[in-house]
Amino acid sequence: VMVAEALDISRETYFAILMDRACNGPVMVGSPQGGVDIEEVAVTSPELIFKEEIDIFEGIKDRQALQMAKNLGFQGPLQQQAADQIKKLYNLFLKIDATQVEVNPFGETPEGQVVCFDAKINFDDNAEFRQKEIFAMDDKSENEPIENEAAKYDLKYIGLDGNIACFVNGAGLAMATCDIISLNGGKPANFLDLGGGVKEAQVYQAFKLLTADPKVEAILVNIFGGIVNCAIIANGITKACQELELKVPLVVRLEG
């Protein structure tokens, strides 16, 4: 149960800090129209969306924060208040290894306060080792059981709707493999990234997870042996084939 002070809102705006691959770093996004779906505003009134890149070495400069506050429609002393809040939100963004901090509405009260009335935060999964307290609050019961099981063996698994299971090392190659399957008329059953330091036991467990999915009608193994030793993969596959009694076609590509 969370108990919070009830506040009246006299005006609503939208503000977010997020990682933008196109800009190779974090950006600020704001709009004087808050409390609504920002994607809708971007379509109907794109001139009301303001975007500003953030220098990762210098952070948000004072002039940038003030300009964004002005773009959001804050006036008088509220403009400096909003700018201060914007800089604090960026400090939070860095401190908690967020990929997105979205405040909607980012508004003002009749008494002249700038307040973050509601917020949504996305965290970088790769920063779990630094943010153990935050990730300990994650409710695993909301995940698919197979995803929780994969996490036990340090396997990055995301279930999809198709029937061709993917067994790949590296997120980039895994996404490319899913794309290639789709481009050729197939449908991937999952995204599975083994990572670089994979062991035979993980290979075996990965096969166990894939074969437990009733939708799977074939398994595609696509491994590029850079960091990964292909012999480890081959031994793990051999063990899985012997012990799990595979009943679906298996296609293996080991390169390197």
Catalytically annotated residues: 14, 102
Residue 214 burial by Cβ neighbours in a 10 Å radius (0-12, 13-18, 19+) = exposed
Q: Please answer whether residues 205 and 167 qualify as being in contact, where contact means their C-beta atoms are separated by less than 8 angstroms.
A: no
Phi, psi dihedrals of residue 33, rounded to the nearest 5°: -100, 100
DSSP 137-154: T--GGGS-HHHHHHHHTT
Residue 114 burial by Cβ neighbours in a 10 Å radius (0-12, 13-18, 19+) = buried
* C-alpha–C-alpha distance, residues 226 and 195, integer Å: 11
**Helical ranges in the chain per DSSP H:** 38-44, 62-71, 77-95, 132-135, 145-152, 171-183, 200-212, 230-244
**DSSP state, 99?**
E
